[in-house]
Amino acid sequence: MMNSKEALVQRIATIQRELASLGAMRPGSLSEQYNVCGTPGCRCKGPKNPQRHGPYYHLNYTWRGRACTQFVKADEVAQVREELNRYKRFRALTQEWVACAVERARLDREQRRSGHAR
């Protein structure tokens, strides 16, 4: 962790700029699934080489305390993955911002104490 107050202030400003430039994001995870249907004699139930239907993509996340699932079209998968990565970056940056703010407050407290000790 940085110990210079000026370095902390600069890092927080850098984090704020990066957060402002992230763009569209969403939480969650993307899963790829293959399914078996109910049609008798379908290729997905073949006795020797069953070929399941898919892939189908599902986005799973929790929002306001509720589990949510959304289907994602195959042509939207790349965009959704980018948005998921941006959300992960958002979370990492905000955690780092809080860590820098806590360290800065600690340094401010130390500075006030050493100023009063004189």
Comparing CA positions, the residue from 75, 97, 88, 71 lying closest to residue 1 is 97
Contact 108, 6 (CB under 8 A): no
This prediction's pTM: 0.80
Overall domain count for the chain? 1
pLDDT for residue 97 is more than 70: yes
Q: Quick one: 59 exposed, middle or buried, by C-beta within 10 A (0-12, 13-18, 19+)?
A: buried
Residue 48 confidence class, pLDDT cut points 50, 70, 90: confident
CA 70 to each of CA 26, 28, 36, 56: distance values in angstroms, whole numbers, following the listed order: 12, 10, 20, 11
Domain housing 85: 5-117
